[in-house]
Amino acid sequence: MTSLWGGRFEKSMDDIVKTFNASIGYDQRLYKNDIEGSIAHVTMLAEQGIVTVSEKDSIIDGLNGILQDIESGKIVFDVEDEDIHMGIESRLIARIGDVGKKLHTARSRNDQCQVDGRMYLKDEIREILNRLVHLESVILEKAEKYADKITVGFTHMQHAQPVTIGFHFMAYFQMFRRDIDRLLSAYERMDLCPLGACALAGTTLPTNRHTTAKLLGFSAPTENAMDSVSDRDYCLDFLSAASISMMHLSRWAEEFVWWNSQEFSYIEIDDSYCTGSSIMPQKKNPDMAELLRGKVGRVYGDLTQLLTVMKGTPLAYNKDFQEDKEGLFDAVDTWKASVEIFANMLEKTDFRMDMIEKQLDKGFLNATDIAEQLVKMNIPFREAHEIVGKMVKICENKGCILEDLTDDELQEIDLRITRDSMGDISIKACVDARTSFGGTAPTEVGRQIEAGKVFLDDCSSKIGDLTGNDIMLGR
């Protein structure tokens, strides 16, 4: 195949260089975006009188034919195509003749790959947002189911205070809520069309970049042509959001691994989300949780790789930037699959309350609540903290719980304290009393759940508005 850029060259590319240079092996997944961008571009060229309406129609017919052939498997790309842009344009010229050579008027691969990438990411962000919303809906369902079911709250991996399982779920709801907000914000920043920036400086031809931006569903064209072709911030925005969200998934996956162990036995994960051992017939391994915990490393690597590529690259376009795609595609695929897998695993996991309840009398979970009760008796908190610490020490020496201390033992610590003065210090009473805004009391968890439902309704509306920017190119 003859190169579309070889006019000043006397020698063809060495075979090893050709292979090393080519990106078609991975950027061919942008074929639909590339064709959509080309249709919008030639539509604008015709409106501006740069090509004729007849030429535009011939080019669009040719591009739609190529699209059909790609999707039917008739077209198979190889290293001779170099990249998806050349692969499509060379076939267009072969199909419709010299008129196909007019398509690349007033554009460059520099802006072409940018518009393809932004269109691709916008599509993928809408899909990931929908998956995150589904995950959040599963979290809300589970939080409602377990809103008043008490478990152990940990700090430093030690028993700390009693909390409800619904409360624990709503903590993760907030993490994924921030992921959604972060992704919506990234979408807004990338919703600018670079097409028409050309190589780096714009064009002398009378183009209208606002037209192509509108046709392709962007809010506006990018402001500066040099920045347009050299910017990869939108990729980094996405990769950063993906890395943070994968970290959230990994944290919860880690807890799933703990909870599934014999030492905890807090949960029962459905068989369909576990695997067995090739040698130990009794094993039921939480492999999906472990894989999710590990997958975050890939996405961190994708972010670090592109940050490293971009470091020290001068304006404007550099071939280094071709390295933006493989990591981006990997992060998209990994994040999408991870969110879906985790949501489904979560939906099919039940908590073993019988096992959890056995742990509630360990670790003096109600110690802080007793200290706060002493504060209500006008004892300064630091004094109360010391008093309860002494109570805990006695219990450790006796091998009992705080509720078992006698009035005599309490009076030895501080004359102001009796069993009656401490009030109800049962684990349930402690949980029910934590009604401060954002607290673990079932009533407060209920409020958080209702606020979460409002957020998800608002999210669905916002995502619907994004989807409403579907490309209208008259095909």
| Segment 132-155, tens digit of pLDDT | 999 999 999 999 999 999 999 999
The Cβ of residue 192 has, within 10 Å, a number of other Cβ atoms equal to: 17
Express each pLDDT in 28-80 by its tens digit.
999 999 999 999 999 999 999 999 999 999 999 999 999 999 999 999 999 99
Domain 15-105: give its CATH superfamily. Fumarase/aspartase (N-terminal domain) (1.10.275.10)
Beta bridge partners of 268: 350
In the chain, CATH 1.20.200.10 covers 110-149+159-358
Task: CATH number for 367-425: choose from 3.40.190.10, 3.30.420.40, 1.10.40.30, 1.10.10.10.
Answer: 1.10.40.30
In the chain, CATH 1.10.275.10 covers 15-105
In the chain, CATH 1.10.40.30 covers 367-425
The residues, any chain, with a CB within 8 Å of residue 183's CB and separated by 6 or more, are: 125, 128, 129, 132, 238, 241, 245
pTM of the entire predicted model = 0.94
Q: For residue 11, is pLDDT > 90?
A: no
- Name the fold adopted by 110-149+159-358: Fumarase C; Chain A, domain 2 (1.20.200)
Express each pLDDT in 332-387 by its tens digit.
999 999 999 999 999 999 999 999 999 999 999 999 999 999 999 999 999 999 99
Beta bridge partners of 351: 267
Task: Calculate the CA dihedral of residues 425, 428, 431, 433 and round it to 10 degrees.
Answer: -60
The pLDDT of residue 13 is 73
Rounded-to-integer distance, Cα 253 and Cα 272, Å: 16
Burial class (CB in 10 A: 0-12, 13-18, 19+), 340: middle
The pLDDT of residue 475 is 44
User: Which residues form the catalytic set?
Assistant: 156, 277
The pLDDT of residue 7 is 65
